Structure 1
Amino acid sequence: MLSIKKYAAIDIGSNAVRLLIATITEVENKPTNFKKTSLIRVPIRLGQDVFTEGRISETNCQRMLTAMDAFKNLMKCHNIEKYRACATSAMRDAENNELLVDKIKDKTGISINIIDGKDEAAIIAATDLYSMIDDHKTYLYVDVGGGSTEFTLFSKGKTVTSKSFKLGTVRLLNDTVAEQVWDDAKNWIKEKAKSYDKIQMIGSGGNINNIFKSSGKKAGKPLSYLYLTSYYQLLKSLTYEERIAQLNLNQDRADVIIPAAEIYLSAMKWVGARSILVPKIGLSDGIIKSLYHQETSASENS
């Protein structure tokens, strides 16, 4: 018996908006296969508006409408059965978020869920993260975004605790992160980690994925603290233009990658981690998996 479904996830972040289209193949007596069919990323950078002005500008509201209309048409072309659109830190903080959500719903039919940091961490945990975790080890999972960073502590194969901090790359670029936020994140992590002898780091987000790709390492191999430190120093030694030209970084990646590296390195230092694992997962992957889990649970209970 063969069953093929197509789901979509829309991730409305502080730096970029993404549409992930996934093909889900179910074969009797075999594990379900999730294949990324298409990924479209639009660097609207809502956080630039929200973290400096408190609201999304008319220009970016229009860009959002255009992007969502395009996403609607792409989902239609792909015969998407189910989708979910989730908005994170920038949309959470925007004064005009409800107005924009209503306008997008009216113009495109796409319903957007504005989720908090706890929901964001839970959705990401719906990915294959647990399959990568050794039940005998302890991990600090760090997901760095443009507006916030989610920290989740895993031990013995289970989630111990998680917390979101307004410590994001776009916020840092705009100098809107108070020193107290760094202190709060550091103190929270140190407090939660003090009961464990050795902690392994897991990192997710576009920036750490980019750094991992540049390392040339094979999937599943960790990045060392030494490598991440040296790459961070290289990034800082180059101008914005040189990062684009020499490191082949996108324009919207070439600036945020430095504060992202700072966050990962800080977290590694706080727990004494010597390396960081970089599975290629994120919020959009979690949305796909959570949609699938919801459907299978509903089928089993019906």
Structure 2
Amino acid sequence: MSATAILDLGTNTFNLLVRNADGALVFSDKIPVRLGAGGLRDGVITPDAADRAVAAIAQHLVSARSYGASRSFAFATSAMRTTSNGAELAARIERETGQPINIIDGDQEAAFIAEGVAQAWPELSERHLIMDIGGGSTEFIIRESGRNLWAESFTLGVTRLFERFLPSDPPTAAQWIEIDAHLDRELAPLWDALAANPCRILLGSSGSFDTLYNVMAHRVGRPELELGQCRAEFDLSAWRATSDAVQSATTEARILMPGMLAMRAETLHLSARQIDLVLAQLNARRMLLSGFALKEGVWSSIQDPKTPWRAYFW
């Protein structure tokens, strides 16, 4: 049975998912490319980051082939769509590896994320807010009874915030005030959407949420997420202390926290800050986690033989 590979090319991490024709998981992996590092502030992808991207794609394709994939789809998000040389990098990747790159807009990214999250929580019909924190952008989707009520992508990814504010390690009180004001101002459309569609459930999508869950789990004596686990629920009573610890620690101290994924340590405090702001706005009573996100959402789209997305066949 032939398999399909899906590559999610984020601003920080390049993710690989390989599934059989029946949808069963074959293999998954991630490479910390840091595509936006050193360039997002100027709207470019640096030469070093571009080289890391090409090497990561080549490595993922080798893995995909070794696990029986006969085709691969690659989707690029915020870093490639918002930089002046993102399309140039996509062309280089295709030229050097054979892999076509589908650069998607924020609306399509949010739609894929919502579809992926729904696979992890198919029975969740109550209105909820999906939040996906990336390096270049953060997506929000208000969803109810299997239908998206509202969705928007904001250029508030943690790498973008880090490069914009260049905070101390850890940030000073004055820097947090400045960051909070920026987030509150930029998220005004979300606050308006929530006023029209109130909900009290936050559903975090993969990435930063996975790592924050594992850090919290260690603090309260719970097991970490298991490999392939697609869902969990945060203990809100334990979240506050976990978030405070992550936000007040230095990067070096965060790296040493049990449950921490080292490649997220530099910016995880900015993820926690965004989450706290949203939890307060929701007056949330539940905080859920989906281990599924964009790449799982892509899976549904590519089942159509007439799918518009470009693929690499071998």
TM-score (norm 1): 0.85
* Change beyond 3 A, Cα 1:52–1:236: same
Report how far residue 87 of structure 1 moved.
0.7
Q: CA RMSD in A?
A: 2.6
Query: Matched residues, percent identical?
Result: 25
In structure 1, the partner of 2:111 is 122
Structure-1 residue corresponding to 2:155: 166
Q: Given the alignment, which residue of 269, 284, 287 partners 1:276? A: 287
CA shift for structure 1 position 5: 3.7
Structure 1, residues 46-102: CA drift from partner, whole Å, max 9, x if none?
112331232112112222222222222222323313321011111112211122111
TM-aligned CA deviation for residue 280 of structure 1: 0.8
Which residue pairs with 1:39 in the alignment? 28
Once the two structures are TM-superposed, the CA of residue 186 in structure 1 deviates from its matched residue by: 3.6
Residues 1:52 and 2:38 are matched in the alignment: no
User: How far, CA to CA, are the matches of 2:14 and 2:255 in structure 1?
Assistant: 21
CA distance in 2, matches of 1:246, 1:196: 37
User: Does the CA contact (< 8 Å) of 1:68 and 1:108 recur in 2?
Assistant: yes
Report Cα offsets for 1:102-134 as digits up to 9, x if no partner: 111111110001111100011122325167255
Alpha-carbon deviations, 1:24-52, whole Å to 9, x = none?
Answer: 43xxxxxxxx3332222111111123312
Q: C-alpha distance in 1, partners of 2:198/2:37?
A: 40
SS of corresponding position for 2:160:
helix
* Distance verdict in 2 for CA 1:108–1:198, change over 3 Å: closer
Structure 2 matches for 1:204-283, cutoff 5 A? 204-214=205-215, 215=217, 216=222, 220-283=231-294
Alignment of 1:42-121 (within 5 A): 42-121=31-110
- Residues 33, 56 of structure 2: 8 Å contact kept: no
Alpha carbons of structure 1 residues 192 and 248: separation in structure 2 relative to 1, 3 Å: closer
Separation in 1, partners of 2:252, 2:210: 21
Report deviation, 1:166.
Answer: 0.7
Distance in 2, matches of 1:48 and 1:208, equals: 21
Distance in 1, matches of 2:4 and 2:25, equals 10
> Which structure 1 residue ranges, 5 or more long, are not aligned?
26-33
- 1:146 matched residue in structure 2: 135
- Equivalent runs, 1:2-41 vs 2, <5 Å: 4-25=1-22, 34-41=23-30
Q: 1:264 is matched by which residue type in structure 2?
A: I
**CA separation in 1, counterparts of 2:155 and 2:185?**
10
Aligned to 1:199: 200
Gaps of 5+ in 2: 166-177, 309-314
User: Which range moves more in the overlay, 274-283 or 207-216?
Assistant: 207-216
Moved more, 200-209 or 283-292: 283-292
Q: For 1:131 and 1:210, how far apart are their aligned partners in 2?
A: 17
Residue identity in the other structure for 1:6: A
User: In 2, distance between residues paired with 1:121 and 1:51?
Assistant: 21
Deviation at 1:240, TM superposition (A): 1.6
Equivalent residue of 2:239, what SS?
Answer: helix
Residues 105 and 256 from structure 1, CA distance in 2 versus in 1: closer, same or farther, beyond 3 angstroms?
Answer: same
Is 1:155 aligned to residue 166 of structure 2? Answer: no
Call closer, same or farther: CA 1:96–1:192 in 2, change over 3 Å.
Answer: same
Q: Counterpart of 1:127 in 2: which secondary structure?
A: helix
